Amino acid sequence: MSGTLVLVRHGQSEWNKLNLFTGWKDPDLTEQGVEEAIEAGKTLGERGMKFDVAFTSELIRAQRTCQFILDGVGQADLQTIRHEAINERDYGDLAGLNKDDARAKWGEDQVHIWRRSYATPPPGETGESLRDTGARVWPYYIREILPRVLRGETVLVAAHGNSLRSLVMVLDGLSKEDITGLNLGTGIPMIYKLKADSTVASKEVLGDDSNAH
């Protein structure tokens, strides 16, 4: 009696638009981001998707995306659980910096490593690598989210590019090398059907037929 897990990265944020490292900073959605979130809800609603519970982070861009999706499927008042465990990775000293300025200062290769590598954190005491991010995302997923999916529920998780990358890495069986090339689009739902042993039975990325399998 396996269920369905729907993962959605938040719509475009104000800092995405400005090309800034965001992390745990809390900018809101842009108009485009609102449209992306509304479209995600509309697309899921047209498929007849209904959720039993929603999870989101402590950051407004994910929370508003979650609410727009729930509005779109006709479940505006659905129970929604917020937790910082699925916040975006902490970008440390890079937070708030322009990505192009960072490349000019530290070099293209170094900034790419900080952004995409598995184990190298950005500078600063609080900076998290993808591995560090997964170290808080996965226990929360296993303890709070997965049991509900395995009971046959349909669960929405509206979160962030890197907190979701850390989940997708394991769900899709990606290597440390594979994950460096993975970038999740804003407002694009990923629908996972899980087997009873918690492994993936099927995955569909809405709006991207090349990733359906």
pTM, two decimal places: 0.95
Determine, yes or no, domain membership for 76.
yes
Q: What are phi and psi of 146, to 5 degrees?
A: -55, -45
Question: Within a domain: residue 38?
Answer: yes
Q: What is the pLDDT of residues 76-90, one digit of tens each?
A: 999 999 999 999 999
**Looking at residue 209, what is its pLDDT?**
46
**Res 38: pLDDT:** 98
Q: Summarize the confidence of residues 9-31 as an average pLDDT.
A: 97
* Number of separate domains in the chain: 1
Tell whether 102 is covered by a domain.
Answer: no
Average pLDDT value over all residues in the chain: 95
> Residue 168 domain-assigned?
yes
Angle between helical axes of 108-116 and 99-106 (0-180°, round to 10): 120
The answer to whether position 68 is within a domain reads yes
Write out pLDDT tens, residues 111-150: 999 998 899 999 999 999 999 999 999 999 999 999 999 9
pLDDT level of residue 190 (50, 70, 90 thresholds): very high
pLDDT of residue 162: 95
* C-alpha distances out from residue 128 to 57, 95, 173, 185, Å: 16, 11, 21, 21
DSSP string covering 71-109, please? HHTT-TT--EEE-GGGSPPP-GGGTT-BHHHHHHHH-HH
CATH of the domain at 155: 3.40.50.1240
Res. 58: pLDDT tops 90: yes
**Which residues have a Cβ under 8 Å from the Cβ of 73 and sit 6 or more positions away?**
41, 44, 45, 49, 50, 51
Structural domain containing residue 44: 4-13+27-90+130-211
- pLDDT band per the 50, 70, 90 thresholds, residue 1: low
Give the separation between CA 31 and CA 58, rounded to whole angstroms: 21
- Inside any domain, residue 40: yes
Inside any domain, residue 35 = yes
pLDDT of residue 180: 86
Q: Indicate left, alpha or beta for 183 from its phi (over 0: left) and psi (-120 to 50: alpha).
A: beta
In a domain, 118, yes or no: no
pLDDT tens digits for 46-56? 999 999 999 99
Please report the pLDDT score of residue 79 as a whole number. 97
- Catalytic annotation, residues: 10, 88
- Rounded to an integer, the average pLDDT of 56-81 is 98
Instruction: Give the confidence band of 181 by pLDDT, cuts at 50, 70, 90.
Output: confident
- pLDDT-derived band at 97, boundaries 50, 70, 90: very high
pLDDT exceeds cutoff 90 at 15: yes
